[in-house]
Each structure stands twice: as C-alpha cells, then as structure tokens.
Amino acid sequence: MQGKDLIVILGDQLSHTLSALEASSAGNSVVLMAEVAEETSYVWHHKKKLAFVFSAMRHFSQALSADGWDVRYRRLDDEHNCGSLTGEVSALLVDGGFERVVMTEAGEQRVSAAFEAVSKDWAVPLVVLPDTRFLATHEAFTSWADGRKQLRMEYFYREMRRKTGLLMQGDQPEGGQWNFDADNRKPAKADLFMPQPFRVEPDAITQDVLEMVERERGAHFGVLDGFWFAVERPQALEALEQFTREALPRFGDYQDAMLTGEPFLYHSVLAQYINIGLLDPLEVCRRVERAYYEGQAPLNAVEGFIRQIIGWREYMRGIYWLKPEGYTDQNFLGARRDLPQFYWTGETGMACMAAAIGQTRQEAYAHHIQRLMVTGNFAMLAGIDPKQVHEWYLAVYADAYEWVEAPNVIGMSQFADGGFLGSKPYAASGNYINKMSDHCAGCKYSVSQKTGKGACPFNALYWDFLARNEGKLRGNPRLGQMYATWGRMSEIKQQEYLQSAEKTLEEIETL
C-alpha cells in the first residue's frame, strides 16, 4: 500500500493555493501545523504578532479540516510539544506510513537550513516546492541581477509591471511614466478625515490564543489589549475592500506623512495579511488597479501602492535570497553602539521617536516612513549595531519576516551592506521630520536649534554621521552636496556639531 504525504505548513503559509497542498490530495496526506517555542523566541516577538499568527493558523487549520484534509495541529501549550518545527515532523514520522515529507519552501533562511539539516536523518525524502505566491522566482531574480554593477529597485519594478501587465498600456506605463513618487510627499494636516483600518472583534478561538500568549509569553514586547487583526481570509478580503474604498484615494498624497495620534493615516495595513498568506499579492494589486480604471482612486495613489508590492516586496525577497549567507551580519559603517532601551519602552523626550515606538508597542505597526526616517534614521545616525536594529524590527512588527525585513533594515535603513541595495544612506536631520509631521511642535527638543542643550538630537547627529563616515561615503554622488556644505562650514561650527553629537551619544539612554 502506498504511503501518505506528510505536508508541513508553516505559520506564514496560510494559503489554500499553497504549492504543497496542490501537490497532494486530501485523501492521501496528513497536514502538520505547529505552534512551537523555537519560533516565538528567536527574537522577542511582539505579543500581538504572536497572537495574530497563532489565531490565523488555528482558523486556517479548521478551514482545511472542513475541506476534508486530515490536519494534525500542535498548540504551543500542548504537553508534548517538541518545541521546534523539525522536531514535530520527526515525531510524527516515527509512527510510519509516510512516503515523503512535502513542504513549500520556507521564507526564512534559518528555517530552510533547519529542515535541510534534520531531514538527512529521516527515512523518507523531503520534497521542497517553490513558493508560487511570489511573482518573481529565485531564478528569475538572479537572472535579472546577473552582471549588474548596482541593483536598483526601479528597474526591477519596471520588469514586474511588464510581466504582470499592471497599469500598462501595451508596452508603455499608464500615464506616460513609471513612477509618481514626486506627487506622494504631502505632509498631513490634523483636519483631514482619517479612515480606520478594518477591525475584527476577537472570536472564541482568538480569545483563547490571546489568553495563551499572555500566559506563556507575557514578558514579551508590546500589549495585547485592543487586538483587532483579521485572522481569516474572508475578513482580510473585507479589509482590502475597506482600504480601497476609504483610504486608497488619498494614500498616494499622504503616504510619507506623520501625524500625532493618527498611527494609520491612509495606509492599508494589509502587509501582515499578504505576508502570512491570507491575501494574494497579485489579487490585491489587481483590486487596487481596478479602482483606478473605475475612477475611484487617482493614478499616483494606485501606482505608489502597487510599487510597494510588486516592486519593493518582491525586490526585497530577491535580495534576501541572492545573498543567502551573512547578509544580516554586514556592518559597512562599523556601527557598534547598543540599541537604546527606549526602543523597547518608548520612553523618550523625542516626540517623533516616542510616537513611532509607542504605536509600535500598542499596534505592532508603524508605516514605512516612521520605520525608515524616524526609528531607522536615528539608529543609523547614532551608530547603532545594525544587527541589533535588524532584530528589533523583526521582533516588533506584525508584518515582519526576515526575508522582507532584513534587506529593508540592513540595506535600506542602515546602509550596512555598503550600497548593494540602496544608492545612498537615508540620513536626515530634524528638518525632514518637521516637514513631514507635526511632532516637532510638541517636542522637548527644538528642531530649529542645531547644537547644544535642548537642540533636536537629529541635527548634530546628522553632521556627525557624515563626518565620521566621510572616508566611506564622500565618494557617493548623492551625498556630494552635503559634503560640500560641511566643507564650507567654519572649523568652529563643525566642532560645535561634533561636540554636541558627542554629548548626545553620551546621554543617549536619557534622551
């Protein structure tokens, strides 16, 4: 008698079209899903992130069972939980009756390496299938990158537009240009109507998960109060519809803005649903594209949103797997300072940092400008160890998985890969934050004061960052103007900036 397939489904693979499911049948397989300690503890995951993943997993396992699949589900608090995904597979294989282990490739390198290592001891083969939920295969991205001196997302994005046909008129982009980012940098105003993301009241399954996470992982970062994430595909689809209807029309204009007390603005807050598998990236893009053609949203909003998914999202995955070893250990700028404690507590007098970290603690969410130009910018200017920064971002956001988070942080945010991913460091003084937010008006520090006690810490740290990294960055053409400005300053002025930055760094834990 032919043995069955043992299908392993990971916590971020909650898609009914998963290649591992499509490679077998309900009548000839057993599906294994497991909540394991190893996956909760490799970084200090936000409690809402853990609750979201576990609740979505439990709901997905029920949906599979309803469709006729034989699902073996292991809860985190089960007495006989092995503590690791590979351990759970090995334990089930002891019972025999399986012909092979089938899984869709893991998104994260550490998980992939663990299965590759342990499977050598199994009596049956491990079959790893491509993750067809992504638009660019590993081979396609490698082929695109081959021979290029610099990898720039914009050119990859154009290839993805051509491949998908999204916002295309024949071989030309809709509206006559590929990128409308120049139209997407308006600061928000407090009198704007702010839509809210689609919210779901926790059901009995989610409530059970929330209680378990508080009991088992109560010391982790963040809070569980006010949990509202969608945990099933129909709910995620409703979230997509609400965003498209209520927020998309102004998403483009205000996607870079920050406003006190408004953590979401016009952002979709859909990334966690896409990254876990409840929504398909192409279906999301096609729904948003339809809104443009039906006159419900302007082109700059729709193009900007689609670029984030088929551009940045796919590009980050490509970069992550293009350099499969050592990427998160890169430290081009030699940054060694420890991550300040206020990244975990949110207790700082810097209003922009307090707002971004505070909402991160509460919601497991901050939008891309808060991540890049506030918390990421400060870390780079202050010379924080990029691996510690990477591990913080991986821990605190509900949408964070290493394949998408690591290139964003190591490459884009911290410039720790030396420009492999981005063309310049995203460094800015307090002026940028003042332009794009209302945080500075109520801050303990003065954004107009450049140096000395009471000055915005970003101001002196910006010039100190350029000065201490001059040997590595002066040749960057996109920084030429700033180094020219630095060179025209008097030596006295330069010393004021450097001394003020030194004082700021000495007192970093009390900012």
pLDDT the model gives residue 149: 77
Strand order in the sheet with 126-129: 70-74, 29-34, 4-8, 98-104, 126-129
Residue 12 token pair: 């971020």
Q: What is the mean pLDDT of residues 77-91?
A: 95
Gap between the Cα atoms of 393 and 375, Å rounded: 10
Q: What is the mean pLDDT of residues 10-36?
A: 96
Residue 118 has pLDDT above 50, yes or no: yes
User: Among 19-33, 279-293, 315-329, 364-378, which is the least confidently predicted range?
Assistant: 315-329
pLDDT the model gives residue 191: 61
pLDDT the model gives residue 2: 64
Residue 109 has pLDDT above 70, yes or no: yes
User: Among 35-39, 52-56, 91-95, 180-184, which is the least confidently predicted range?
Assistant: 180-184
Residue 157 token pair: 């994005």
pLDDT the model gives residue 467: 97
Gap between the Cα atoms of 134 and 130, Å rounded: 9
DSSP structure class, residue 323: S
Residue 324 token pair: 């499969």
pLDDT tens digits, one per residue of 217-255: 999 999 999 999 999 999 999 999 999 999 999 998 888
Residue 1 has pLDDT above 60, yes or no: no
DSSP structure class, residue 400: -
Q: What is the mean pLDDT of residues 130-153?
A: 92
pLDDT the model gives residue 151: 82
Residue 365 has pLDDT above 50, yes or no: yes
Q: Which domains does the chain have, with CATH numbers?
A: 4-129 (3.40.50.620), 138-195+247-322 (1.25.40.80), 329-510 (1.10.579.10)
Gap between the Cα atoms of 315 and 136, Å rounded: 9
pLDDT the model gives residue 391: 97
Residue 145 contacts residue 151 (beta carbons within 8 Å): yes
Gap between the Cα atoms of 350 and 357, Å rounded: 11
Give the 3-state secondary structure of residue 258.
Answer: strand
Q: Is 261 left (phi over 0), alpha (psi -120 to 50) or beta?
A: left
Q: What is the mean pLDDT of residues 127-133?
A: 97
pLDDT the model gives residue 193: 67
Dihedral sign (CA 13, 17, 21, 23): negative
**One-letter identity of residue 316:** M
Residue 315 has pLDDT above 60, yes or no: yes
Percentage with pLDDT > 70 across the chain: 99
Residue 302 token pair: 């729709």
pLDDT the model gives residue 248: 96
Residue 150 has pLDDT above 50, yes or no: yes
Q: What is the mean pLDDT of the chain?
A: 95
pLDDT the model gives residue 392: 98
